[in-house]
Amino acid sequence: MMPADPLEAVTHPDPYPYYRGLAAHRPFGFDERLGMWVAAGPAEVAAVLAHPDCRVRPPAQPVPPALAGTAAGELFGRLIRMNDGAGHAPLKAILLQLMASIDTGTARARAAMLAAALDAVPGMAPATGAAVNRWVSTLPVVTVADLLGLPVRAGVDAMTVAARVAAYAAAQSPLATAEDVAAGADAARWLNQWLLAAAEVPCQADDAGLLPALRQAAQAQDIAPEAVAANAIGLMVQACEATAGLAGNMLLRIGRSGPAVDGLPELAARVARDDPPVQNTRRFLAADARLCGVPVRAGDAVLVLLAAASCAASGDDDARPWTFGAGRHACPGDALAQALAAATVEALLARGALPAALAQAFRYRPSHNARIPHFD
């Protein structure tokens, strides 16, 4: 059965025929059921992401109401990912430069080293789905933390940090319960304090990580330390769910179609294109405008179907996968994310994880935008 709407498509067993139909027959239109515009064609998705009046948050609601007034909301309000204001441009420029300086080979080597530390943690032998879930939601996050220069090299520290980042990420979902939001606020406070404490411990110069450079560059431009801390945490959050989804979807692909013939980095790029972890994103109109030839009103919402654009686009293997977005908020972690997902799958396969068995017993985590398998 086809999904009933694009939100249901996210966790549908095979949403791609539905997406292809939408992209071909209704590339841009109003969905009465969802009460928002839906962009599905590649040209329309690109046009929405490039439109100056299409913002990442509703202008009157910079922080989701459930998080407002909590530590999680305070952190959210400082993220470059969630802001269009000119005030965020200097920090954004510094962060983008920093992300571009990360070498994917170094990231892979760090991930392999951290994987060895995770072996020492009880319950990590990947014989069970539960252990595989822990690996995919821990290794990418702690590798980003390690690249920043944060202390995660002991397996237990790594597990604690990854659990806090996951709790904070979960609180941002529209499906979050009151308990999830409370746990997210708690995690936001904990992560802030952990970052502060780490800043006070001097590191060896050659192994200090990227955070001291980020702090220094920000200080030179009078950027508040709180904004720097929030966005450093933001990088770990970005590495959390979507990268776990990419690694999980790679395991499913191997489980169904056999080992990756041309290597795991190539498989990561292919799965990012044809079973993408982030299936959609949203934009909100800041003014009345014309979008894809149609008049739209200030306050209208647009659901941007990255996954539909991806399966409708021609099979150009060199094109940037749509799952990483485009335009002003395009993901600066695309190469890193694919390297981390490949490194995580490599670590799991080397430890005897069985993709064919995993693909027999899983469901997708409930989500309105991310396709993340949860193995039973």
**Closest distance between ligand HEM and the C-beta of residue 233, in Å?**
11
Element counts in the chain: helices (H) and strands (E): 15, 9
| Minimal CB distance residue for ligand HEM | 333
Residue 125's CB is within 10 A of a number of other CB atoms, namely 12
Residue (of 241, 220, 240, 218) closest to 229 by Cα position? 218
Q: Which residues pair with 303 in a beta bridge?
A: 38, 282
Strands 301-304, 281-285: parallel, antiparallel or unpaired by DSSP?
antiparallel
Among 54, 337, 347, 353, binds ligand HEM (CB under 6 A): 337
The residues near 102 (Cβ < 8 Å, ≥ 6 apart) are: 147, 210, 336
**Closest distance between ligand HEM and the C-beta of residue 291, in Å?**
16
Token reading at 263: 């290597």
By C-beta, is 334 or 354 nearer to ligand HEM?
334
Residue span binding ligand HEM (CB under 6 A) among the ranges 27-35, 67-75, 218-226, 327-335: 327-335
Residue span binding ligand HEM (CB under 6 A) among the ranges 31-39, 198-206, 241-249, 312-320: 241-249
Residue span binding ligand HEM (CB under 6 A) among the ranges 25-33, 103-111, 149-157, 238-246: 238-246
Regarding 331 and contact with ligand HEM (CB under 6 A), the answer is yes
Radius of gyration, CA atoms only, the chain: 20
Please state at what angle helix 225-257 crosses helix 334-350, rounded to 10 degrees: 50
In this structure, is the dihedral angle defined by the CA atoms of residues 212, 214, 220 and 223, taken in order, positive or negative?
negative
**Closest distance between ligand HEM and the C-beta of residue 207, in Å?**
19
Regarding 190 and contact with ligand HEM (CB under 6 A), the answer is no
Regarding 75 and contact with ligand HEM (CB under 6 A), the answer is no
Site for ligand HEM in 244-283 (CB under 6 A): 246, 277-278, 281
- Which residue's entry shows tokens 């789905």? 129
Regarding 137 and contact with ligand HEM (CB under 6 A), the answer is no
Among 56, 199, 301, 349, binds ligand HEM (CB under 6 A): 56
Distance (Å, whole) CA 367 – CA 198: 33
Regarding 80 and contact with ligand HEM (CB under 6 A), the answer is yes
With contacts defined by CB under 6 A, how many residues of the chain interact with ligand HEM?
A: 23
